[in-house]
Amino acid sequence: MTTTFAAAAPPPAAAAGGDTITLGGGCFWCLEAVFTELKGVTKVESGYAGGHLANPTYAQVSDGNTGHAEVVQITFDPNVVTLETILRAYFTIHDPTTLNRQGNDVGTQYRSIAFYRNEAQKAAIDRAIKETAASHEWSGTIVTEVKPFTVFYKAENYHQEYFKLHGEQPYCQLVVAPKVAKFRKKFHDFLK
């Protein structure tokens, strides 16, 4: 099935350092592996957001009691890639209809969540949710949380570039690699 989306408005002039969006959709290794390959993305960091504990560790977030989700913080040049393209990729590579889970990863730390930094980002996220729902790419109701951005905590160093460094591991082969392959197939014109 082909997904269609409304035409994106021309990107605004890039601010110094580009623009940033923070997204969660299951294990951050999956999201990071995809977004590092997207043309115009200049930086992707795995981390935690949306919870109440300052400076959480992976073990604390994995317990599911911090309120944090595993997320990626994506810095991009809007003159090269639009936020709409980033959001299309986001809603393609994770299932936004499963509450507090992605596949076998279960818990609030794996929820679908998008953090906006301004009203333009919020509007783009809301549009992407409506377009994704209308596309019927996923069966079920989209449960992605849309929240204002407050703080991002960078994950431990061993989580950064995890798929690139450990792609041979079973989890990477069974979970991350298929999402990367799906992304490469659907977004081949947007690859670096």
Query: How much is the pLDDT for 7?
Result: 35
Among the listed residues 83, 85, 146, the one whose alpha carbon sits nearest the alpha carbon of residue 115: 146
CB atoms under 10 Å from CB of 82, counted, come to 19
Per-10-residue mean pLDDT of the chain, 192 residues long, equals 37 60 96 97 98 96 95 97 97 95 92 97 97 93 97 96 94 95 95 95
Return the pLDDT at 112. Answer: 97
User: Residue 118's pLDDT is what?
Assistant: 96
In whole angstroms, what is the distance from residue 65 CA to residue 109 CA? 9
Using DSSP's 3-state secondary structure scheme, residue 152 falls into coil
Our answer to whether residue 30 is catalytic in this structure is no
Hey, where are the domains in the chain?
Answer: 19-190
Q: Which of 18, 19, 26, 27 is catalytic?
A: 27
Distances (CA, A) of 177 to 35, 47, 64, 83, 180: 13, 20, 25, 24, 5
The correct answer on CATH 3.40.720.10 for the domain covering 19-190 is: no
